[in-house]
Amino acid sequence: MLKNRKCSYCDEELIENRCKECDSPYRISEGWTSGDVCIDTFIKDTMYKARNGGRWLEWISFDRIIDIELYEDGFDKVYVAVWLDGRDNYLEQNGSLKNEPQPVKVFLKQFNLLTNCLNEIKNHWEFFNIDVAISSKFYGMSKHPETQEFIMVTHYGNQKSLRTLLENDKKLLWKQKIEILRDTSFKLKKLHELGYSHNNFHYGSIMLDDDSKIYITNFKLTQSIKQRIAPNNKVLELMPYIAPEIIKGESYSLASDIYNFGIVMIEFSTGKCLFENKVRPEFGKGTPEIYKDFVNKCINVNPDRRPTAPGLYKQLKFWYKCIIGDCAEFDKYGEMVKSAFDNADNYNDEDVEGNYI
């Protein structure tokens, strides 16, 4: 117990820096509704499970969100905004601690379909709460008062999508490309190890923050591999990313995620996202042959012949070690790998070869 310190709201003695009574999830779970029983139940469940100092989601009043600006109008509408009550800020006043929340910059993702919303928030919350977070910090939910569409509120952290990264950073070195791909493959590996397939993996699903941490997003189609779900006709519009077996009507799988990752690797080789062309992207000029060969394994028409996510991570990790010069244990082959990627940096990233695939 903190001597002579009381909560400025309930006047109870403080055991820790926070008042367990006033900050209790049980208290903040009352007096609001999203208007949907399923959303209410999910948010309140996270609150009730947070009794031992864990995380929980909040219902955020829309009038506490300001400065809303469109961030990306691609696969989903995503906005950047300021949540006025986003960060706890405990100040000592006359021997008491009072929480005066500080504004925090956030991402807003708006949903027009409740089914997509429920699946995405449940998955995002689960993947945020594991030991090595796959997804970014999830604050809570809100609702647009005019459209009545639900809004997912997540951490901003100056994150940028792969699309934004490739548009703004035209001269990424291969060292940077392989590092980002390595870290992304690690998160995909963690997802697969949890028993989930992403089912909608593309350049808009990869986020990179200021600390160079990679997060995966866009979990509206993500399902347990025990659930064999058929392709969604709307997603089939993203033709360059769709594995051949999915186009034929087969169920999503871990292997179809690997195919998607292979397409992302091709985009990294060109230095730009080519989905807008509605055709399969091609390799950038000067792309190392070892890179092309591995990508072609990822996009093999036979899903059984594609590498696994652990194999993907192992290969990219090996390449990165070679590029940074940590390749003594690999002898001449490691030196050859380093030389191949060093030479590739001499080419213009915007040059694209003929259809290699």
CA dist., res. 58 & res. 101, Å (int) = 14
Q: Is the pLDDT of residue 257 over 70?
A: yes
- Plot region of 195 (φ>0 → left; ψ -120 to 50 → alpha; else → beta): left
- Average pLDDT value for residue range 65-92: 81
Q: Average pLDDT for residues 25-48, to the nearest whole number?
A: 79
CATH class of 160-344: mainly alpha
What count of residues does the chain have? 357
- Got the DSSP string for 122-167? HHHHHHHSSSS-SS--EEEEEE-TTT--EEEEEE-TT-EEHHHHHH
Mean pLDDT computed over 205-212: 86
CA 297 → CA 142, 182, 316, 355, 357, distances in Å? 43, 17, 14, 16, 11
**Do 162 and 275 form a contact (C-beta atoms < 8 A)?**
no
Integer Cα distance of 62 and 337 in angstroms:
52
Contact between 5 and 14 (Cβ < 8 Å): yes
Hey, what amino acid is at 345? Answer: D
pLDDT in tens, 271-286: 777 655 556 667 888 9
* pLDDT score recorded for residue 322: 93
Judge whether 52 and 24 are in contact, CB under 8 Å. Answer: no
Q: Which residue has the higher pLDDT, 34 or 167?
A: 34
Strands 214-216 and 206-208: antiparallel
pLDDT of residue 336 exceeding 80: yes
* Structure token pair of residue 150: 């639900």
Is the pLDDT score of 7 beyond 70?
A: no
CB 76 within 8 A of CB 205: no
Is 101:94 a contact under the CB 8 Å cutoff?
A: no
Range list of H helices, 194-324:
244-247, 254-270, 289-298, 309-323
Low-confidence winner among 151-155, 167-171, 301-305 (lowest mean pLDDT): 167-171
Share of the chain above pLDDT 70, in %: 77
Q: Which pLDDT value is given to residue 171?
A: 78
**pLDDT on residue 92:** 64
Higher pLDDT, 241 or 8: 241
Under a CB-based contact definition with an 8 Å cutoff, are residues 265 and 291 in contact? Answer: yes
pLDDT band at 292 (very low <50, low <70, confident <90, very high): very high
Alpha-carbon separation of residue 271 from 65, 297, 318, 345 (angstroms): 35, 21, 22, 11
Q: Please choose, from the candidates 313, 303, 315, 206, the residue with its C-alpha nearest in 3D space to the C-alpha of residue 257.
A: 303
User: What is the rounded distance in angstroms from the CA atom of residue 177 to the CA atom of residue 349?
Assistant: 12
Per-residue pLDDT of 190-202, as tens digits, reads 999 999 999 989 8
Residue spans of the domains in the chain: they are: 18-155, 160-344
Tell whether the model's pLDDT for residue 204 goes beyond 70.
Answer: yes
The CATH architecture of the domain made up of 18-155 is 2-Layer Sandwich (3.30)
Alpha carbon distances (Å) from 266 to 37, 127, 293, 295, 319: 43, 27, 11, 7, 16
At residue 4 the predicted structure's pLDDT band, cuts being 50, 70 and 90, is low
